[in-house]
Chains A and B, each alone.
Chain A
């Protein structure tokens, strides 16, 4: 098979997610309603508490990071969730594909949707709260977004693995894992305020490092971007290996059939 055929295998899940999303009115809620609610509520809270400028940026960066993380990770999870909900999972896995074909296309679409959300929230936060995302230039923004999207892909992969391991009950993971990130990754507070055990957990999550890096543009301080980048790549590779293993396991246990019934 030539490269165009191989590329289309990667893009198949992006195509499916795109068609499904554009026909679903609730996509608008995912793209506009919830992100705006999240940004406005945090922004207005900073006004009420008369938070100083650097802290406003600290909180808004966290709110926006969490929002685009949720949008992008659900797109990766949708690659199996849509199949599971429509009971068509066996049609996907009878095709000659690997986990990376599914994850790549879905992540690509997640990046597209996440970028749209980021663009909207960046404009709104600038005009309503005077927060300029490009204050440190374009490069820090791109690095920050790359970290968020990589973390989103990892979470999406974990959801997919959970579905193939535990079946339909596991779809709750699609929404609860980002809640875990909210708690421990320093979205609204520095990880130093966490108990030691949770701090260790926070240090194992790439987003923690990307948040620290991007915030250092507004509030000078130390960051360990290289560790975050290493962790992101490590988890992505490990996630894809485990995803393939989960597919093999699902073929052994027969869960692929049960998910199609």
Chain B
């Protein structure tokens, strides 16, 4: 029987500090992650994404709840778990004065690699993440994008079965972000590993994730595939009509299959449920007007995010 990468039930986390009141960061988080999927954790800043990913990666412990990683108890078997997982984080940091190669070598040693296997693995990761030209560059002299690539290379040193990526493209230029996403996709496809990815970039989640959990104030407010999330939240397609002449907006609002209408002068944004026969009826409503332009846009996760973050 294959063991699920993550099985979490009732995870709670509070941060307590000396002489200060405690802060609840996560409340009653329960979710399962399936083998081989890319699972997204989405939510606004401060929603608990980093804390949850840190708990899943055994960096910190939950206060309550049960957590099994690849079938192992996260508290009891954390040493065994750490052998088969790894993490890459936003704004990655490594010892400054070590070069790319030395950093990978150092962390490879911490994973028990030695001799020719260590040299080969370090070399393979340098090649895989196109760091060859920067092999002897100190970490402090790398650009942000190269630091992120080094972080991903470090995360692959132990050939993890489960990879955690905590906001891997935060702070990167758009072109570097796209490259990083392609890299993540390639790693996932080539190595067939399960990935848990936290992000607040909706296109990233839409592009990479098989399923997504939305977090708000430390709780999961929705969990499903991107497609189902859009469907279940009633976020239908958006029809944008620019027109001249009369249009009966009230009739439009009460029309079956119309989920919402936003009217501006000469322009309407109409959310519709495509399952209904609504598009045809909408167009008929403009029979006394002149349609200048009409576009139909599928809702994206940005819309879902805005809906859920309210």
Are A82's CB and B15's CB within 8 A? no
Chain A residues near B17: list those with CB within 8 A.
Answer: 253
B125 within 8 A of A: no
**Contact A94 to B82, CB < 8 A, known contacts A88-B93, A257-B60:** yes
The yes or no answer to A20 lying at the interface (CB within 8 A) is yes
| Listed residue (B83, B94, B106) with the most chain A CB atoms within 10 angstroms of its CB | B106
Bound CA–CA A98/B57 (angstroms):
16
User: Is A221 part of the contact surface with B, judged by Cβ < 8 Å?
Assistant: no
| CB contact between A95 and one of B89, B96, B107 (< 8 Å): that residue | B107
B65: min CB distance to chain A, Å: 14
Is the CB–CB distance between A9 and B83 below 8 Å? no
Q: Which of A11-19, A129-137, A184-192, A205-213 contacts B (4 or more CB under 8 A)?
A: A11-19
Categorize the interface residue count of chain A. 35 or more
Q: List which B136-153 residues lie within 8 A (CB) of chain A.
A: 138-139
Q: Are B57 and A94 in contact (CB under 8 A)?
A: yes
Establish whether residues B61 and A251, one from each chain, have CB atoms under 8 Å apart when the complex forms: yes
Taking a contact as CB atoms under 8 Å apart, the answer to whether A5 and B102 are in contact is no
Docked CA distance A102–B105 (Å): 15
In the complex, residue of chain B having the shortest beta-carbon distance to the beta carbon of A83:
B95
| Cβ of A92 under 8 Å from chain B | yes
| Minimum Cβ distance to chain B for residue A251 (Å) | 5
In the assembled complex, the Cα of A5 lies from the Cα of B115 at a distance in Å of 9
A-B contact count (CB 8 A): 108
Decide if B58 touches A251 in the complex (CB within 8 Å). Answer: yes
Pick the residue among A5, A83, A87, A98 that contacts B112 (CB under 8 A): A5
Partner of A251, one of B60, B80, B109: B60
Interchain CB contact under 8 A, A12 and B110: yes
Say yes or no for B240: interface residue by CB 8 A criterion.
no
CB proximity of A73 to chain B, nearest CB, Å:
20
Return the chain A residue nearest B164 by Cβ.
A94
Known contacts A5-B112, A9-B110: A91-B154 contact under CB 8 Å: yes
State which residues 19-74 of B face A: CB under 8 Å: 50-51, 54, 57-61, 63
Q: How far is the CB of A248 from chain B (nearest CB, A)?
A: 8
Query: Which residue of A5, A94, A256 is within 8 Å of B114 (Cβ)?
Result: A5
Whether A223 sits at the interface, judged by CB under 8 Å, is no
Contact of B106 among A7, A15, A248 (CB under 8 A): A15
B74-85 Cβ-contact flags toward A at 8 Å (1 or 0): 000001101101
Residues in B with CB closer than 8 Å to A92 are 110
Q: Is A90 an interface residue (CB 8 A)?
A: yes
* Complex Cα gap A94–B81 (Å): 10
The answer to the question of A260 belonging to the interface, with a C-beta cut-off of 8 Å to chain B, is: yes
CB-defined contacts of A98 to chain B, threshold 8 Å: 79
Q: Answer whether A8 and B61 are a contact pair too, CB < 8 Å, given A86-B93, A88-B94, A91-B94.
A: no
Asked if A34 is at the interface (CB within 8 A of a chain B CB), the reply is no
Instruction: Please determine whether B98 and A19 come into contact, CB atoms closer than 8 angstroms.
Output: yes
Identify A96's interface contact among B51, B59, B111, CB under 8 A: B111
Please name the residue on chain A nearest to B83 by beta carbon.
A96
List residues of A whose CB falls within 8 A of some B CB: 1, 4-9, 11-12, 15-16, 19-20, 23-24, 82-83, 85-88, 90-98, 101, 248, 251-254, 256-257, 260
